[in-house]
Amino acid sequence: MIKTNKDKLVIQSVQGQISSPATSNNPYRIDQEGLAHILPATGGICYNVKVGDSCMKWVGDHIEPGVSIKNDNTPDNKALMLLACIGNEAQVITGNAKGAKGFVTGMHGGVDHTLIYFGDEDLENMAIGDTILVKAYGQGLAIEGYEDIKCMNIDPRLFEKLNIKENSKGILEVPVVTEIPAYLMGSGVGGATAFSGDYDIMTGDKNANEKFGINKLRFGDLVLLKDCDNTNGRQYLEGSISIGVIVHSDCIKSGHGPGVTVIMSCKTSKIKGVIDEEANIGNYLGIL
């Protein structure tokens, strides 16, 4: 079993409130063909959109599964986005659902929402504005003997459940549902850091969606991004490998699609994907 520095990592509180869906005086969203649509999008509580569901079937744009939280204080929200990690424990601390526990499922850049899973009964007791505290734990995670692999955005306890193995060539084998080529990565490329937020798999090419299994993607799926360097900012680098989690749905806008929050990246091919249809955080966390 690979060893990490998990015992040296800090567990620290961050929090936000359930964020309302919002719109402007112009409510239309423009699709890849230039057509205007009025659709549900980011924010709020999504009662019927969950980890393990298809991220491609919804009549909506950038749909976020479960509960979307944000802190109205911008520096505090930046800390929430930066420090919260997928798999972290989250707890409702105000409102009728006070005491309910869930876990972080991703961070959505741009709108700057942190996404949280809760069970159905708890969702029914929640309201916009309820405060949710996250026990942030994971940033700074490192694998012993693999200092060139950057880990980020994942709770060490979830990381250990991914069944990552070291092969005879010293390469880490990580379960993933599919591999995505760099030329399909769109919105978010060039971001200053991959330690916050996500970036999108472009879905404007129907043949590519079929060829690379994008049509089958689910919220929570692990994917491998080929020739994608996320060790610092997001860029193309031949031979680099990144592993990420699908955090939000497909989108109608050009250059957008399912969002990926990266959890591992290496500038060289020290990471290898092993195709596993069950490689989904919902399975590792016992909710599917």
CATH number at residue 173: 2.102.30.10
Query: For 88, left (φ over 0), alpha (ψ -120 to 50), or beta?
Result: beta
Report if residue 1 sits inside a domain: no
Please tell me whether residues 123 and 235 are part of one structural domain: no
The predicted pLDDT at position 1 comes to: 77
The predicted pLDDT at position 218 comes to: 98
Question: What CATH number does the domain containing 130 carry?
Answer: 2.40.10.170
The total domain count for the chain is 2
Structure tokens that stand for 242 in this block: 């990144």
Report if residue 198 sits inside a domain: yes
Please tell me whether residues 158 and 220 are part of one structural domain: yes
* Residue finishing a domain among 78, 104, 136: 136
Report if residue 144 sits inside a domain: no
* Residue finishing a domain among 83, 103, 136: 136
List average pLDDT for each run of 10 residues in the chain, which is 288 residues long: 94 98 94 95 97 97 98 97 98 98 97 98 98 98 96 98 94 98 97 96 97 98 98 96 98 96 96 97 95
Report if residue 141 sits inside a domain: no
* Domain assignment of residue 194, given as a range: 149-284
Neighbours of 118 (CB within 10 A): 23
Q: What are phi and psi of 272, to 5 degrees?
A: -130, 135
Please tell me whether residues 166 and 267 are part of one structural domain: yes
* Residue finishing a domain among 136, 159, 176: 136
Please tell me whether residues 224 and 165 are part of one structural domain: yes
Structure tokens that stand for 260 in this block: 């990926």
Q: What is the distance between the alpha carbons of residues 143 and 234, in angstroms, rounded to a whole number? A: 21
Please tell me whether residues 167 and 130 are part of one structural domain: no
Report if residue 219 sits inside a domain: yes
Report if residue 142 sits inside a domain: no
Strand partners, 132: 16, 92
Please tell me whether residues 55 and 163 are part of one structural domain: no
Strand partners, 143: 4
Please tell me whether residues 117 and 164 are part of one structural domain: no
Find, among 220, 219, 239, the residue nearest to 229 by Cα: 239
Question: At 202, which helix (H) or strand (E)?
Answer: none
The predicted pLDDT at position 282 comes to: 97
Q: Which residues does 128 contact at the CB level (< 8 Å), separation at least 6?
A: 17, 18, 19, 20, 44, 45
Please tell me whether residues 165 and 280 are part of one structural domain: yes
The predicted pLDDT at position 211 comes to: 98
Please tell me whether residues 232 and 265 are part of one structural domain: yes
Report if residue 153 sits inside a domain: yes
Please tell me whether residues 101 and 159 are part of one structural domain: no
Please tell me whether residues 79 and 183 are part of one structural domain: no
The predicted pLDDT at position 248 comes to: 98
Find, among 51, 103, 52, 116, the residue nearest to 277 by Cα: 52
The predicted pLDDT at position 70 comes to: 98
Report if residue 78 sits inside a domain: yes
For the whole model, what pTM was predicted?
A: 0.97
Please tell me whether residues 221 and 126 are part of one structural domain: no
